[in-house]
């Protein structure tokens, strides 16, 4: 049985890169099923690429192959790899931080560098192209793996999992009177922000419907300080109000109901943002 290919990139659909990449896959094997996760990862943002894989990977059938191409170092000596995860998936990607969250939460069993002598597209008219590995390397190798033309062992030589490039992941801090976390990522379409605070930790301190004192700092400067409600549905809060909720991966998020928290309150995500929940 052929494996599905699920793609995420920062290419957008504004020009022909996605179509060319998918065309290569179909040229290897027209029966391979291609699924688009997103082509709207923020440009060059390997942290977001890593987080999005973590967000959805475990909901797919075991054996699915994910192709993630957010590659600011394309054409350099950074490794092109295929990782085999402990929860049963494959990820074809540049080794540039994109494997961070999957490795942290699910584990990576093995990783292999792609052998470009056999698992890269070679054509007379593109022999000198070094800036489109999404098409010529990652898409092509993934298609060969998905079709069964090559086994995982034939991707290329293995290297030590400890050598994988990783971003730092920050854990929330739990105190007797408060929880301190940060904004890990946003929900770009709606402007919500997702923290690193786990639902189970939050529920030990706060009750559904409670107004929680919420303070947000940017580079240690206080930029938000309000008591806001914790609800399990956006429909329970007033339009335009800010609320706390648990998101789809059971971490705590902040939202402006029928609004855009990021835009209206000039907030974003990253290690410069700290959020503190307390009863005060």
pLDDT confidence of residue 77: 76
Q: Where do the domains of the chain lie?
A: 5-163, 173-278
Length of the chain: 280
Distance CA 20, CA 17 (A): 5
Q: What local confidence, expressed as pLDDT, does residue 200 receive?
A: 97
User: Is domain 5-163 in CATH 3.30.70.20, yes or no?
Assistant: no
> Degrees (nearest 5) of the Cα angle 273, 279, 280?
85
Local structure of residue 122 (DSSP, 8 states): -
Token reading at 72:
């600011």
Burial class (CB in 10 A: 0-12, 13-18, 19+), 163: exposed
Cβ atoms of residues 7 and 135 within 8 Å: no
Q: What is the pTM of this model?
A: 0.93
Strands (DSSP E) contained in 131-260 are 158-159, 173-174, 178-187, 192-198, 211-218, 221-229, 242-246, 251-256
Q: Which CATH class is domain 173-278?
A: mainly beta
> Whose structure tokens read 């947000």?
216
pLDDT (tens, 9 = 90+) of the chain, 280 residues, equals 788 999 999 999 999 999 999 999 999 999 999 999 999 999 999 999 999 999 999 999 999 999 999 988 776 778 999 999 999 999 999 999 999 999 999 999 999 999 999 998 886 655 555 656 778 899 999 999 999 999 999 999 999 999 999 999 999 999 999 999 999 999 999 999 999 999 999 999 999 999 999 999 999 999 999 999 999 999 999 999 999 999 999 999 999 999 999 999 999 999 999 999 999 7
Is there a common fold for 5-163 and 173-278?
Answer: no
């Amino acid at each position: 049985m052929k494996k599905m290919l699920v793609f995420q990139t920062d290419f957008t659909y504004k020009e022909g890169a996605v179509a060319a990449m998918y065309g290569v896959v179909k040229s290897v094997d027209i029966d391979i099923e291609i699924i688009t996760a997103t082509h709207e990862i923020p440009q060059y943002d390997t942290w977001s690429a890593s987080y999005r894989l973590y967000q959805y990977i475990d909901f797919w059938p075991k054996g699915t192959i994910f192709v993630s191409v957010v590659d600011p170092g394309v054409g350099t000596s950074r490794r092109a790899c295929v990782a085999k995860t402990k929860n049963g998936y494959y990820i074809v990607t540049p080794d540039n931080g994109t494997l961070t969250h999957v490795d942290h939460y699910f584990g990576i069993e093995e990783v292999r560098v792609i052998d470009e002598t056999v698992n890269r597209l070679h054509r007379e008219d593109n022999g000198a192209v070094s800036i489109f590995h999404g098409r010529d390397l990652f898409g092509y190798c993934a298609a060969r793996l998905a079709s069964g033309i090559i086994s995982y062992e034939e991707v290329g030589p293995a290297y030590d999992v400890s050598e994988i490039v990783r971003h730092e992941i920050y854990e929330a801090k739990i105190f007797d009177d408060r929880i301190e976390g940060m904004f890990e990522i946003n929900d770009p379409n709606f402007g919500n922000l997702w923290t690193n605070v786990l639902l189970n930790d939050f529920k030990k301190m706060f009750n559904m419907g409670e107004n929680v004192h919420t303070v947000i700092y940017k580079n240690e400067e206080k930029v938000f300080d309000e008591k806001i409600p914790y609800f399990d549905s956006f429909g329970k809060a007033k339009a335009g109000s800010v609320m706390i909720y648990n998101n789809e991966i059971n971490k705590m998020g902040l939202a402006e109901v029928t609004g855009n928290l990021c835009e209206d309150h000039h907030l974003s995500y990253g290690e410069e943002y700290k959020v503190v929940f307390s009863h005060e």
